[in-house]
Every structure is written in structure tokens, then in C-alpha cells.
Amino acid sequence: MMPIDVVIMAAGKGTRMKSKIPKVLHTLGAKPLLGHVIEAALGLLARKIVLITGHESDWVRQGAVSFFEQHLNTDSKGGLDGASNGASNGVSKAKLEFALQMPQLGTGHAVQQAAPLLDNGGLTLILSGDVPLTQVQTLKSLVQASVSCGSSNLTQTSKPGSPVCALSLLTLNTKNPFGYGRVIRDSKDSTKIIAIVEEKDATPEQKKITEVYTGVLVAATEDLRRWVNGLSNNNAQNEYYLTDVVKGAVADGVPVSALSIDEPLEVMGVNSPAQLAELERAYQLKQAHSLMQTGVRLKDPTRIDIRGALDCGPDVEIDVNCVFKGTVKVGSQVRIGPNCVIEHAVIEDGAVLEAYTHIEGESSLKPVRVGALAKVGPFARLRPGAVLGTDVHVGNFVEIKNSTLAAGAKANHLAYVGDAVLGERVNFGAGAITANYDGANKHQTVIEQDVHIGSNSVLVAPVKIGASGTVGAGSTITKDTPPGALTITRAKQTSIANWTRPVKEKK
């Protein structure tokens, strides 16, 4: 493919969002709208991305840079298993630059601000920062249409050494074209596009046209720069329309091609909270159907939220109202109960997560790990650094943080395990805790294999409990214990006969 520069328009105020947050930084699937568009540009191996800002320019720039750097960093280091998760070869070389549009005098005016930053000898693709779900494959097909149509039709207008490409438009066939620019084709040859007419400038007859322009186009950079610099604002809105570049192409004898699609979700923009919510549900439902096509069994595909990347093995069952954040990898024959929230995690084969389990890994590179055949929940919480081995049981109202539980270890009820290492087959009793924080620093607790920790015990770190040892219920352990020993620190039980509780005085 020819070198591609991508221009993303993100200067609008988004008044109808009724929010101080710039429209393009509102989230879809827990990712900024603008982030989805940047990802698409990176998926095309763009050599340069030019972001046009305007309203809250500094805020938008900061958000774009943060997402851009985070995406490239994650992509270059790889996903949960250390392997690259995308097209990192070449993507890391992409550059992000900015153009400021102030005042905002239309889409054509916006591209005029970006034009000086575009490199010659390639193509320029125009995208919108509030249209998040255009697929990379669709954009590749659009670029290919530009190159193919240009190569077969354009010879006489090309300058020596310049790319031979058509102006290629992404269009949508829709039953409800209101608000979109209508695609005008030659009455004698319907394969030829001669203009795009905006809604406010269209005649009643033109408004009946159901093929509309989506705001996405690609052209040779030299041609596009020439056309946008020659735009006029002689129209109903006194703005410089980017769509008028079609007239420039026609005047220059450059063919205008179209890639027509029928999927509105790919080109649906966001202008209000209602539209954002509508797009969110459509986006989630599409992801749910993609999961089911791979064999995942969902109790209700309308009640799942995937706010990141979810990869499932065979025979996975997911109940209702589960939320997946970040990067989550689920092995085969895993069962996930209702109302679970899982973020940055690896769930190995045969594990069971009961209802209301909450897992919060630190990042895709530092996930929580749940071993094969492990059982977690209900109402359990696994925090960053939690690693559960094979057949580990973590029960109701148990919290695990920065701790490793070896195969067969159990903490079934009402416990806190923080900054600890639990050996194989350890039984951590109800109400027991590791006191890992001294008010200034965290310390580690080591519990060797086959230890039994009695209920309501407190292990004050740093401390080691020797293998096969037992801690009596209600004990507070402050020193290391020897292997095989029973250690008890509770006071001797005393009963006071005929004792009467105080009685509240009457006023």
C-alpha cells in the first residue's frame, strides 16, 4: 500500500452532549471515541496522524497523546502472554501531530489547517473523531478502491512521480438519509459521482436520494491539498465544505469512486448522550454476537459489557450483567456467574467464578491469575497481584491482594490475605487476616504448605508459619512458628458467675 497520512477532525464543541468533557473524549466501551479512531489509523499502519483540535484544544491533545502512547506501549510489549497483540511492525513508527482550527468555519476549513502538515507522495485519509466504529478492513478497502480506480482511469492529469489515485468516498445506503450529504451521480452514467450536496443545500428531489456521504474519504495528498485550498464558502451555512472537493476532482478529471456499505454502525456519529448510549448498546450487542459465534454461551447477549478485549476458549459460560474491562483471557470450560466485574485477568481452564466476584488486575502486563479448576466467590475480591494456583478456593467475602495461593489452598469465608504467600493445601480460616501494614510500610506473610490457620486469627507481618503447623483460633501471631507446631496466643478462658450487665438509666 502507498504511504497513508490520516487526518482526524476533532475540533467541534459538541454542545448537545451537555458536558464540560470534549465530545471526542467521551467513552464507548470504556475507550475514548477518539481512541477508537486513533486505533483504526494505527491499524492502517499510518505514517502520520494529524489531529485537528479546536474546542478545549489542550484537553483533547492531552487525551490523544495519552491514548496514543499507551496504545503503542502496550502493543510493542505484547498482551497477557507476552506476544504482540496487533500490527506493531510499523505502527510504532507512526507520528502524531496537531493542527488548530480556530475559528471553526467548516469541515473544509478544518482540513485546510492540517494540509501543511501532510507529507507528499502518498494518500490522505479523512476521519472524524466522533465516529468510532469504522472498521480497519473497511478503510483498507476504501484505500484500495482509490488506488485501483485511479490506476485504471487516471493518466492525463497525473504529474510525474505523483500517486495515481481516485478520490474515493465511503458512502452509506440508508432508508433515513436526513442530515447527511447526498451523493449525486451522473444521470447518464451512475458509476460516476459528480457532487455531494449537504442537507441544507439539497433540493426536495435530491433529499430523496438514499446514498449518503459518511464523512470518510481518501485521495492523493497533493490533489487533496489543492482542492481544499480552492474551496469556497458560498453556501447556506457560509462554511467551507470538505464535500466540495468532489467538484474539484471532477473539474480536474480525477475519477471519483465510492465504497458503499449497508452497516450504519460503522459510520454512526455521536452528538448527544442519547446517541452515545444507543451506540454503546449496539456496540456491546455486536461484541456479544461475535463471542457467541466462537462458541461462548451467554445467558443474555443484551446484558454483557466488554470494555476492553475479551478472549475466550471453548465451552465458556457467562451469566448476565458481567462486565469485562481491560484485557481478559478466559480458558476453556470456564463458568462465570452473574454480576461479575473482571479487569485485566487470566482465568485458566475449568475455573468457576461465582456471582458478584470482583477481579481487578493492575494492567494487561500484570493481570490477576486464576488457576485451573479454581473456585472463586460468591462476593470475593481479587485485587492487583493476586495469583491463584490450581484448585484454589476463595470464598464469600474474601479479599486477596498481592498474594500467591499455591495449589489446593483455601480461604473460604470472611478473610483478608494481603502481601502473602500461601503454600499448597493451606486452609485459611474464617475471619483470619494478614496484618500487612504497620502504618508506614507493607510486610510479607509466608505460610508454608499444609498449614491450618484457625478462625479469627491475626498474622502480624513480617512472619512465617512453618509447614504443617496449626494456628489456634483467635490467636495473634507476631513471631515465626516452627513446622508441625500448634501455636496459640489467646488468653485463658474465664467465667464470672452471677454477673449482671449494666442497665441503662431512665431519664
- 370 near 361, Cβ under 8 Å? no
pLDDT of residue 88: 39
Among 244, 226, 224, 225, smallest CA distance to 234 is for: 244
> Phi/psi of residue 285, each to 5°?
-65, -40
Q: What are phi and psi of 261, to 5 degrees?
A: -120, 165
Closest CA to 454 of 473, 467, 475, 477: 473
Q: What's the confidence (pLDDT) of residue 76? A: 56
Look at residue 24 and give its three-state secondary structure.
helix
Place of cell 480525477: 254
Q: Which domains does the chain have, with CATH numbers?
A: 4-267 (3.90.550.10), 273-487 (2.160.10.10)
Grid cell of 78 as nine digits: 505484547
Position 75 scores a pLDDT of: 61
413 is catalytic: yes
The answer to whether 333 and 373 have CB atoms below 8 angstroms apart is no
pLDDT in tens, the chain (507 residues): 689 999 999 999 899 999 999 999 999 999 999 999 999 999 999 999 999 999 999 999 999 999 998 877 766 555 554 433 334 344 447 899 999 999 999 999 999 999 999 998 899 999 999 999 999 999 999 999 888 775 555 444 445 555 568 899 999 999 999 989 999 998 888 888 999 998 989 999 999 999 999 999 999 999 999 999 999 998 888 899 999 999 999 999 999 999 999 999 999 999 999 999 999 999 999 999 999 999 999 999 999 999 999 999 999 999 999 999 999 999 999 999 999 999 999 999 999 999 999 999 999 999 999 999 999 999 999 999 999 999 999 999 999 999 999 999 999 999 999 999 999 999 999 999 999 999 999 999 999 999 999 999 999 999 999 999 999 999 999 999 999 999 999 888 889 999 898 888 887
Radius of gyration of the chain (CA): 30
Give the model's pLDDT for residue 230: 94
316, 296 Cβ separation under 8 angstroms: yes
Whole-model pTM: value is 0.86
Catalytic residue among 26, 109, 413, 443: 413
Determine the longest span between alpha carbons in the chain, in angstroms: 112
Q: What is the C-alpha to C-alpha distance for residues 193 and 186, in angstroms, rounded to an integer?
A: 6
Cα(271)–Cα(180) distance, integer angstroms:
14
